[in-house]
Structure 1
Amino acid sequence: MKKTWKKTAAVLTAAAAAFALCGCSGSGSADTANKGSESAGAEKSAEEPTVVEIGVVGEYNAQWDTVNELLAPENIQVKLVKFTDYAAPNRALSDGEIDLNAFQTKTYLETDMAQKGYDLTAIGDTIIAPLAIYNNKDKVSSIEDIKDGDTIAIPNDLTNGGRALKLLEQAGLIECDPEKGFVPTKADITKYNVQIEIMEAESATLANILPDCAAAIINGGNAYTAGLNPTTDSIFTEDVNPDTNTQVPELVNVIAARTEDKDNEVYKKIVEAYQSPEVEKTIEEAYQGAFLCAWEGAGEADAPESEGAESPETEAEAE
């Protein structure tokens, strides 16, 4: 940068001297200086990466560090934009405040678009974040300990709330109208096998209100952010085996774009980087089973060994 400045200054000085001596012929030299300055600016601009802002919810973002490492040769950089409210990332994407988001299941995306009129498209599968029933250890230690009058907290949005009710059904606590499919509401409960009280609350608050309940059904991302792991800390976990649960495809999280941008080549490279053996290895090592890779081909190949590289840590950069 200093060399460019000195070179430009020298050209301008020479031009000024020529103008002083000749009285009228400095314009050509000034044009040359301007062109040199413009060329230097263009060279600097060419070195700057293409930054893509992606909306996420929660603190499980180590995989994006690996994505950025893979995209570095392409001069593409992912910048995370963090939200705490599940309603915000789709609104921000629709309004053009961010470029992509990666926080929701296919069912959540479809329901949100139907309710709010967003024109968004899923452009790539990412993970499954199993929903689980987490117990207040001072009150219950298993599903069988839940008794009449106990309160269980669930997410208050339609998609995750319906998914939570289906989980309570899988656990044998309630029965729902089968015609309501994957997203029943409390009004669709046809039978209480245990007379529990179901309390609805914002997803991000469920871990905090767990001490006031017998149990809470918490999204995988929010659970991980609260220091909970569905494989070790829950008393009942969502069935994510496609052989025994036909609704597993609805549980897959996706990267979403505005429909008009679904064929953007940079976005395709981001999806390709995410759906790589390197990212799969990061997810397995960083989260110890809390999240499952769900894209086509995941689990079929081992990630290449990196020479002397440690598994990346979660970045605390603003999403």
Structure 2
Amino acid sequence: MNLRRFTTIAAAGIFAAGSLVACGNDSADSTGASGEESTKITIGTTDAGGKAWEVFEEEADKAGIDLDIVNYSDYNTPNKALSEGQLDVNLFQHLKFLSEYNVGTGDDLTPIGSTEIVPLALFWKDHDSLDGIEGESVAIPNDSSNQGRAINVLVQAGLVTLKESGLITPTPADIDADKSKVSVTPVAAPQTTTVYHEGKPAIINNTFLDRANIDPKSSVFQDDPTSEEAEPYINAFVVRAEDADNEGIQELVEIWQSDAVTEAVAEESKGTSVPVKRSAAELKEILDRLEDKLKNQ
């Protein structure tokens, strides 16, 4: 197999050409590293160019799995492609994103294995603690995927109090200003690093730290990846409900959780990613809880 072969999809609605090869021994049509027949699995992601994916593909090949990796440039298409049968499985999202997709579309895509959590953190230039932060305005990402989580980071830090506790995706309007120690200023996610360099506290998505020359380990606070509040942000392998017991796809979970891939993920995230091993049943329970809350909002 020619490793590092993947298709990039640049726009929603345009999928890899050719028919999907089902996951099963009778679908094998290539040869793995061992010289034995390989099972072909088509997987979608938004980060195929990373080192972790390179190692993942190599380890899958050793296990006799020929990965056909489809890389998307947006976050909306991979679930649609999976639902429509263009993919066997995808790996790009956390459970909260999946719950919003399922509730919004009426779909029933399901997680079968966990990968990691990347904590969301509060950074404050030239500070190594929260001392003196009371009265400051904290910049937070204004996008729907991160704003609620950022506010909950401040809740966990004891800096913000919500009018109603336990909200999964609180907005600035849900903050009780009189009981909070800081205020928030929503800005475009890339601008949080600009605010940081101006000397003001900011919650910054891990994606923007490296390009802004910010040490991921210099945060003054981050959410606890083992807490219940962090569960919505567990990243997961996702399949159509009818494929939840597919052994070939389940093997991919074990490969991702192997030492080789785990080390590559840690290197890429500069040690900020936290490996998570949750069973499919546990992930489905979390997903169901998230979907129920969304439906009752």
- Write the mapping of 1:139-158 to structure 2, written as runs, cut at 5 A: 142-146=129-133, 148=135, 150-157=137-144
Match of 1:124 among 97, 108, 113: 113
Change (3 A) 1:215 1:96: farther
- Equivalent residues, number: 244
Residue 239 of structure 1 corresponds to which residue in structure 2? 224
1:170 aligns with 2:156: yes
Matches of 2:195 and 2:82, distance apart in 1: 30
Residue 251 of structure 2 corresponds to which residue in structure 1? 269
1:54 aligns with 2:40: no
Structure 1 residue 132: Cα displacement = 0.6
Residue 24 of structure 2 corresponds to which residue in structure 1? none
Matches of 1:263 and 1:204, distance apart in 2: 40
What is the CA deviation profile of residues 76-101 of structure 1, one whole-angstrom value per residue up to 9, with x for unaligned ones?
12525143x54454344445554433
Q: Determine helix, strand or coil for the equivalent of 1:175.
A: coil
Change (3 A) 1:75 1:114: closer
Q: Determine helix, strand or coil for the equivalent of 1:111.
A: helix
Structure 1 residue 294: Cα displacement = 0.6
Larger deviation, residues 69-78 vs 118-127: 69-78
Matches of 2:104 and 2:209, distance apart in 1: 26
1:293 aligns with 2:275: yes
Change (3 A) 1:164 1:197: closer
Residue 13 of structure 2 corresponds to which residue in structure 1? none
Matches of 2:77 and 2:213, distance apart in 1: 23
Matches of 1:211 and 1:191, distance apart in 2: 26
User: Pairwise CA RMSD of aligned residues?
Assistant: 3.5
Residue 28 of structure 1 corresponds to which residue in structure 2? none
Matches of 1:64 and 1:125, distance apart in 2: 15
Residue 196 of structure 1 corresponds to which residue in structure 2? 183
Structure 1 residue 188: Cα displacement = 1.5
The answer as to whether partners of 1:52 and 1:79 remain within 8 angstroms in 2 is yes
Gaps of 5+ in 2: 1-27, 33-37, 280-297
Residue 204 of structure 2 corresponds to which residue in structure 1? 218
The answer as to whether partners of 2:129 and 2:220 remain within 8 angstroms in 1 is yes
The answer as to whether partners of 1:57 and 1:86 remain within 8 angstroms in 2 is no
Residue 70 of structure 1 corresponds to which residue in structure 2? 59
1:254 aligns with 2:243: no
Matches of 1:105 and 1:184, distance apart in 2: 17
- Identical aligned residues as a percent: 28
Structure 1 residue 142: Cα displacement = 4.9
Matches of 2:191 and 2:61, distance apart in 1: 36
- Bigger Cα Rg: 1
What is the CA deviation profile of residues 275-304 of structure 1, one whole-angstrom value per residue up to 9, with x for unaligned ones?
22332333345544210111159xxxxxxx
TM-score normalized with structure 1 length: 0.62
Gaps of 5+ in 1: 1-43, 298-319
For 1:279, give the aligned amino acid: V
Change (3 A) 1:224 1:56: farther
Matches of 2:87 and 2:197, distance apart in 1: 36
- Write the mapping of 1:12-51 to structure 2, written as runs, cut at 5 A: 46-47=30-31, 50=40
Change (3 A) 1:191 1:91: farther
Matches of 1:111 and 1:260, distance apart in 2: 20
The answer as to whether partners of 2:113 and 2:278 remain within 8 angstroms in 1 is no
Change (3 A) 1:51 1:226: farther
